């Protein structure tokens, strides 16, 4: 087998890149370790930045998102139960976010793949990358015990945090920067109407809580939890009680309880690998960086990375110029680090840290109170939340 770009991983980064390249007539094959049902069932991101919405429009994969996505021109913060509104649209010259689940984005990307000639190899086991520092990389894998290989011009490592691509960069070249947070998020998905029309990020003395949604009839809620906690420790009633306590009485009165059909615990981490290119290998999305979910940036960064990468590859294949390819890592990292900063900051002001003393707690309260009172502070939050420009 032969192709221009071998893409490792059929998550948002890999599939968006495959569609972008196919639109420009550049051939690509996506190699995915799991099957489609598994990838589609993973409950993850919920909020799309303008950049991601624009990308789906450019690809002509926006019909269902326009129909079913919920446009949010504002969001809310809560401090010990007291709510205040951040008018994202007014503060950013009319920008907004769209609530449309990652699962729905993936379904749209997979559904459109066959008609657009986007080739996906499912259940590709033991993917390995070879010859990345030469001109003719090769990707090998096994399919039902049979050895396979793909010759290509470039490899796009879109295989997430636990993939093989980042590890193919020599340790002497790769630099990794990391913060691990001493807590996780316990997430609940239930078919009950959301408590509010918009999201609510709540800082409470007992810990962080988030009220989010997938549709007018499906709610997504999170509470901060300890890393040692297990799902068995959280029967539905305990979750709803804790959530309501942290959201405060005003919002709790509007919470509809119901059976959760998905529950998960995700640890929080900030991570960046530099550079995002080595030889003929490019990293994009979670393969290169992780943000804590507080800023809702993970999937959106995957979308901005592959937008930059597709631009560089198109330039190379259409005009033979390598400038875009050589500049990809620096260009992507400049945007990534700003999202890292925002996600770290938003996590720091909304969560309870185990080592927190009275002084740190009061600084946190003062910072949130400052945001409530200062339009300048609200604007800074809003412009980061809706997504910084693609420079």
- Helix (H) or strand (E) segment spanning residue 103: helix 102-112
> Which x/- pattern over 267-306 shows residues binding ligand PHB (rule: CB under 6 A)?
--------------------------xx-x----------
Near ligand RFL by CB under 6 A: residue from 100, 181, 185, 201: 185
CB of 284 to ligand RFL, least distance (A): 7
Q: Is 369 exposed, middle or buried (0-12, 13-18, 19+ CB in 10 A)?
A: middle
CB of 292 to ligand PHB, least distance (A): 9
Residues sharing a CB contact under 8 Å with residue 257, sequence separation 6 or more, in sequence order: 190, 192, 236, 240
24: phi then psi, degrees, rounded to nearest 5? -100, 5
69 vs 163 by CB, closer to ligand RFL: 163
Residue 294, binding choice from ligand PHB, ligand RFL, none, Cβ under 5 to 8 Å by partner class: ligand PHB
Nearest to 269 by CA among 378, 171, 356, 162: 162
Size, binding site for ligand RFL by CB under 6 A: 37
Calpha distance 338→295 (Å, rounded)? 11
220 vs 331 by CB, closer to ligand PHB: 220
Q: Is 252 exposed, middle or buried (0-12, 13-18, 19+ CB in 10 A)?
A: middle
- Helix (H) or strand (E) segment spanning residue 278: strand 277-278
> Which x/- pattern over 366-385 shows residues binding ligand RFL (rule: CB under 6 A)?
--------------------
Please report, as residue ranges, which positions from 210 to 239 form the binding site for ligand PHB (by CB under 6 A).
212, 220
211 vs 310 by CB, closer to ligand PHB: 211
- Helix (H) or strand (E) segment spanning residue 186: strand 175-190
Instruction: Find out whether 159 and 302 touch, Cβ atoms under 8 Å.
Output: no
CB of 340 to ligand PHB, least distance (A): 15
Near ligand PHB by CB under 6 A: residue from 12, 14, 46, 324: 46
CB of 376 to ligand PHB, least distance (A): 23
Catalytic machinery residues = 72, 201, 293, 297, 385
Calpha distance 333→273 (Å, rounded)? 9
Please report, as residue ranges, which positions from 293 to 352 form the binding site for ligand RFL (by CB under 6 A).
293, 296-300, 302
- Burial of 152-169, coded b for 16+ CB within 10 Å and e otherwise, reads bbbbbbbbbeebbbbebb
Work out whether 187 is an interface residue with ligand RFL (CB under 6 A): yes
Near ligand PHB by CB under 6 A: residue from 18, 30, 47, 382: 47
- Helix (H) or strand (E) segment spanning residue 386: helix 375-386
How many residues are present in the chain? 391
Instruction: Find out whether 222 and 212 touch, Cβ atoms under 8 Å.
Output: yes
Work out whether 159 is an interface residue with ligand RFL (CB under 6 A): yes
Residue 313, binding choice from ligand PHB, ligand RFL, none, Cβ under 5 to 8 Å by partner class: none
Size, binding site for ligand PHB by CB under 6 A: 8
> Which x/- pattern over 11-50 shows residues binding ligand RFL (rule: CB under 6 A)?
xxxx----------------xxxx----x----xxxx---
CB of 221 to ligand PHB, least distance (A): 9
Calpha distance 160→24 (Å, rounded)? 25
Question: What are the beta bridge partners of residue 47?
Answer: 99
Helix (H) and strand (E) counts in the chain: 12, 20
CB of 201 to ligand PHB, least distance (A): 7
Work out whether 194 is an interface residue with ligand PHB (CB under 6 A): no
Tokens of residue 233, six digits: 């420790």
- How far lies 64's CA from each of 57, 84, 99, 286, in Å? 11, 31, 12, 25
User: Which parts of this chain interact with ligand PHB (CB under 6 A)?
Assistant: 46-47, 199, 212, 220, 293-294, 296
User: Which parts of this chain interact with ligand RFL (CB under 6 A)?
Assistant: 8-14, 31-34, 39, 44-47, 102, 124, 127, 158-160, 162-164, 185, 187, 266, 285-286, 293, 296-300, 302
């Amino acid at each position: 087998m032969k192709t221009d770009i071998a893409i490792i991983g059929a998550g948002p980064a890999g599939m968006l890149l495959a569609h972008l390249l196919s639109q420009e007539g550049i051939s690509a094959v996506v190699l995915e370790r799991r099957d489609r049902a598994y990838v589609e069932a993973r409950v993850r991101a919920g909020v799309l930045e303008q950049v991601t919405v624009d990308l789906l429009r450019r690809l002509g994969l926006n019909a269902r998102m326009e129909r079913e996505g919920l446009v949010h021109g504002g969001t809310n913060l809560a401090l010990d139960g007291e709510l205040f509104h951040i008018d994202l649209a007014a503060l950013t010259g009319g920008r907004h976010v769209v609530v449309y689940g990652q699962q729905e984005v993936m379904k749209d990307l997979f559904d459109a793949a066959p008609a657009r000639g986007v080739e996906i190899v499912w259940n590709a086991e033991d993917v390995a990358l070879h010859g990345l520092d030469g001109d003719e990389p090769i990707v090998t894998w096994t399919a039902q015990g049979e050895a396979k290989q793909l010759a290509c011009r470039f490899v796009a490592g879109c295989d997430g945090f636990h993939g093989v691509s980042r590890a193919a960069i020599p340790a002497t070249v790769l630099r990794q920067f990391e913060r691990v947070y001493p807590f996780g998020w316990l997430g609940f998905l239930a078919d009950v109407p959301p408590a509010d029309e918009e999201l609510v990020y709540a800082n409470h003395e007992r810990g962080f809580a988030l009220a989010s949604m997938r549709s007018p009839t499906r709610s997504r809620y999170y509470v901060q939890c300890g890393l040692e906690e297990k799902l068995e420790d959280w029967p539905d009633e305990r979750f709803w009680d804790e959530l309501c306590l942290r959201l405060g009485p005003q919002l709790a009165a509007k919470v509809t309880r119901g059976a959760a059909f998905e529950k998960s615990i995700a640890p929080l981490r900030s991570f960046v690998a530099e550079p995002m290119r080595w030889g003929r290998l490019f990293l994009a999305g979670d393969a290169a960086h992780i943000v804590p979910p507080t800023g809702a940036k993970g999937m959106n960064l995957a979308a901005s990375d592959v937008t930059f990468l597709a631009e560089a590859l198109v330039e190379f294949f259409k005009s033979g110029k390598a400038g875009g390819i050589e500049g990809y890592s620096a260009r992507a990292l400049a945007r990534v680090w700003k999202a890292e900063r925002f996600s770290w900051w938003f996590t720091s002001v909304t969560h309870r840290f185990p080592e927190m003393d009275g002084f740190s707690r009061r600084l946190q309260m003062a910072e949130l109170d400052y945001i409530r009172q200062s339009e300048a502070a609200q604007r800074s939050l809003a412009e980061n939340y809706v997504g910084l420009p693609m420079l």
